[in-house]
Amino acid sequence: MPSDIAAAPASAPKKQPSRLKRLLIPALVVLIGLAAFLVRQYLSTSVTFAPYGPGFSEKPDFSQVEHQYPLTRQQLMTITPERLKTLDQEKVDQIYARLTAGPIPDGAYDGDLFFPKGMSGQKRLGEVVGGLKGAAADLELAKLTVLGEALWKGKVFYRDQRVLRNRISDLSLFKDFFPDPADQQELQVAKEHPTPENQYFPAKLYCGQSLLDSRRESIIIDYSFTDELPGYRKIPDILAGREGVIVRDEIRMVRPGFYLGRAYMAGTFILNFTLYNKAVADEGSPGFLNSTKTAEDCWVGYQRLAASNE
């Protein structure tokens, strides 16, 4: 006799994970681990900055910045001239304040200048002209721009002599600076009989106090006494000296072959600049990464000395 109770259906066979899923899960784990590793690497090499606001009272103390956000050698290797140009002035200043002078350079370095982010060179130099006194104030904006671009495009360091000279390939740039016929004639003579390797505007090299960060010394490039240095030519060298716009630069080393600088005219900050020597960078970078000490020609300051003894 047939039963009134229906037979229970047979249970469906258990599905086994497909081969794709079996491969996908470990792959996802590996990807997540790789992503976490890359994030850690990025955070460890990305330059960080102390919080700041637009007002002067909202700027952090440089000692605090260096203590809380010290720059590692790996971070310094990520800084490039192009990257610096993307930063606002406060961030450039925070990087500069965490650098030491390093060794005084020797040989030729390619230069490039840049103004605070969001501010054109014309605007910045216009502000500078308004704040300068003496001979510097008499320069028109266009002339000041020409002088700036000429002085920070390439420098040759004579380390043993503690002298620097600037590479100027075209003296015609300066013809409007010297309207006097006698000066024009002297400039023409200079063009016809250039100095060796077209080097002009000699400056003294020495270690001295930074005008931005007085906690430690910077390498100073001082044009005040340019007329006392070998190779001085009144036309055009007078422009940068104490009878001209009184140019004073200071630089600190980012890493071998690469320096970050600040330029002043008559004591007024006007622009940032970089100096780069590829041969020195290529030769010195591996050792810089693997070492804990850097050659220093200038005083590094009490904070850095204390940190090195910890």
List the chain pLDDT tens, one digit each, 310 residues.
455 545 555 555 555 556 666 667 666 766 666 654 444 444 445 999 999 998 889 999 999 999 999 999 999 999 999 999 999 999 999 999 999 999 999 999 999 988 766 555 555 665 655 555 555 555 566 677 777 777 788 899 999 999 999 999 888 888 888 889 999 999 999 988 888 888 999 999 999 999 999 999 999 999 999 999 998 999 999 999 999 889 999 999 999 999 999 999 888 888 899 999 999 999 999 999 988 788 999 999 998 888 877 5
pLDDT at 146: 77
State how far the Cα of 193 lies from the Cα of 184, in Å rounded to an integer. Answer: 14
The answer to whether the beta carbons of residues 45 and 51 sit under 8 Å apart is: no
Per-residue confidence (pLDDT) for residue 127, from 0 to 100: 60
N-term to C-term CA, the chain: 96
- Give the type of residue at 8: A
Rounded Cα distance between 107 and 112, Å, is 16
Q: In the prediction, which pLDDT does 172 show?
A: 87
pTM reported for the whole predicted model: 0.80
